[in-house]
Chain A
């Protein structure tokens, strides 16, 4: 009888361990860092914690939660700073929380946890109203005190931060559409279909043109006034994150590891695409002197406006999150670094200044 029980127990434990192992590894691998910065601090959403790190020395200013991690929280959207000193963070964990922190201290101002879906997109603040897209396909609106105003169904699954011209919010969806949401009437006025799912944000220029990259392996330019596609540019791989505009040039990378500069007026390449050492996921960072990108192979590149590589620095890990500039530093949040570093600061010459290793 004992043998029978042991046999059954062993079978149960092996299968449970394997399946649970899958879930645990899925949870671990689901981690995706979100990074923003002001002149003094970097704000890093990383797993169960959000950290504020002093830019002058790389030391932690505060962390949220202050002590023990809440396993129901998983932060990977880019933290958003508001003009009144709030830091808005969203959780992809089972708590479904949108949280406002005091950016100076890390203390909680307010929390909203009602939606059906989790938050993967960052919110945007327009005219003292917070607009937060959720994976349940709805757009939620709050005032700056955290009072819930309304929720409107947009469509599909919303993963990216909207952009706004003050009159409209332009929201990309995984359902292959860009939605134009009128802020006055609180309705979707029009939508444009892309060739694939759009996980990243659109880019909006001063003339009201929108540029979006999709899993259809295309960059598409959409004229917001005419509500039609002006041009499309074929990329060699799927495009993950938002293109970035500088004057008349659009910079974007793809999952096949190509980096492009495209003329915004006609969709023609400014120079032949360049191939760094790996997949490009995050948006490029435009600095005064060059454009910075990170690759999945863990390398940071500075590229001039003619498409020449100025410097390359091997950070390690995987660089999925868009780099950010804070003061005179270029910040990267690598994943799976051997020494567990979650934030690396480079100077403008491509030399490492410090790295931040969370204690948790």
Chain B
């Protein structure tokens, strides 16, 4: 089921893009990411709306009054906050949900990259079975896995004074952090849900960076492209909270 509905379609889309753009797998991944971002645009827009709602909530009288009223009863405060979220149609996990929603895409893309690059006989055989009959892919096999200095089927690093520096992983951490921070709504000290969002915006970039460092660099290329597109999307919609990037400013 996962194979039929996720891996095989993704593999074919990747190979189709690869074929029409002149056999560059790196560009194919970038274009594929743009396609995924375009498809999930409404979802991201909805999350941004939720984030804005959170920002507006911080100035709301009812919100401020329950913070005062239940400051010594955390359970009651949480339940009141949930009630207000529900009434106003706000999702308190606005900053981390887009990242979590990416997970199936990340896993599917990773498997599609490995399958498409087919570095072993069995992976080549499996790949040959993943192709839709209307695509004439036989002429482009094997795929060129080289992009700039990278082999997209392997983890990336650049040798700097004898150290293997995982450049892409570092860029993934930075862009993931910026994206998360731009989406993080301002929060009050007692707001547990928003605090969880803040926490996620710190942990998730490192988690993504770890994956970028450990797995095929094609995946890191997807992370970076996706993050940059996300940042551009927030900026274009005028929803990016640039103040969040500076520590101490809200």
Within 8 A of B (CB), among A2-49: 3-4, 7-8, 11-12, 14-16, 18-19, 22-23, 26, 29-32
Q: Are B120 and A15 in contact (CB under 8 A)?
A: no
Q: How far is the CA of A95 from the CA of B204 in the complex (A)?
A: 33
Chain B residue numbers with a CB within 8 Å of A251 are none
Report how many residues on chain B are interfacial, defined by Cβ distance under 8 Å.
Answer: 30
Q: Which of B31-39, B49-57, B137-145, B165-173 contacts A (4 or more CB under 8 A)?
A: B137-145
Q: Are B138 and A217 in contact (CB under 8 A)?
A: yes
- Choose one: A11, A118, A199; the contact of B124 (CB below 8 Å): A199
B135 within 8 A of A: no
Q: Are A196 and B141 in contact (CB under 8 A)?
A: yes
Within 8 A of B (CB), among A182-240: 195-197, 199, 215-217, 238, 240
Helix, strand, loop or mixed for chain A's interface? Answer: loop
Give the number of A-B contacts (CB < 8 Å): 82
Given contacts A4-B195, A196-B141, A22 and B111 within 8 Å (CB-CB): yes
Nearest to A173 among chain B residues (CB) is: B142
Q: Are A19 and B211 in contact (CB under 8 A)?
A: yes
A255 within 8 A of B: yes
Binary interface encoding of chain A residues 248-266 relative to chain B, with 1 for a CB under 8 A from any of its CBs, else 0? 0000000100000000000
Chain A residue numbers with a CB within 8 Å of B124 are 199
Q: Are A22 and B110 in contact (CB under 8 A)?
A: yes
Q: How far is the CB of A136 from chain B (nearest CB, A)?
A: 11
Chain A residue numbers with a CB within 8 Å of B126 are 29
Q: How far is the CB of A98 from chain B (nearest CB, A)?
A: 17
Q: Are A197 and B142 in contact (CB under 8 A)?
A: yes
Given contacts A4-B196, A19-B107, A22-B107, A32 and B120 within 8 Å (CB-CB): yes
Given contacts A8-B199, A8-B203, A215-B138, A18 and B121 within 8 Å (CB-CB): no
Binary interface encoding of chain B residues 194-215 relative to chain A, with 1 for a CB under 8 A from any of its CBs, else 0? 0110011001100100010001
Chain A residue numbers with a CB within 8 Å of B125 are 240, 255, 281, 320
Q: How far is the CB of B31 from chain A (nearest CB, A)?
A: 23
B17 within 8 A of A: no
B237 within 8 A of A: no
Report how many residues on chain A are interfacial, defined by Cβ distance under 8 Å.
Answer: 40
Q: How far is the CA of A67 from the CA of B63 in the complex (A)?
A: 68
Nearest to A29 among chain B residues (CB) is: B122
Q: Are A238 and B138 in contact (CB under 8 A)?
A: yes
B243 within 8 A of A: no
Chain A residue numbers with a CB within 8 Å of B103 are 14-15, 18
14 contacts between A and B (CB under 8 A): A15-B107, A22-B111, A26-B123, A29-B123, A29-B126, A31-B122, A32-B121, A135-B119, A199-B121, A216-B139, A238-B128, A238-B138, A240-B125, A320-B121
Using CB atoms and an 8 Å cutoff, list the residues of chain B in contact with chain A.
Answer: 100, 103, 106-107, 110-111, 114, 119-126, 128, 138-139, 141-142, 192, 195-196, 199-200, 203-204, 207, 211, 215
Which 9 pairs across A and B sit closest by C-beta, in order of nearness? A30-B120, A174-B142, A215-B138, A32-B121, A8-B203, A196-B138, A197-B141, A4-B196, A4-B199
Given contacts A8-B203, A15-B207, A18-B107, 6 further A-B contacts (CB under 8 A): A19-B110, A26-B123, A29-B123, A29-B126, A76-B121, A196-B139
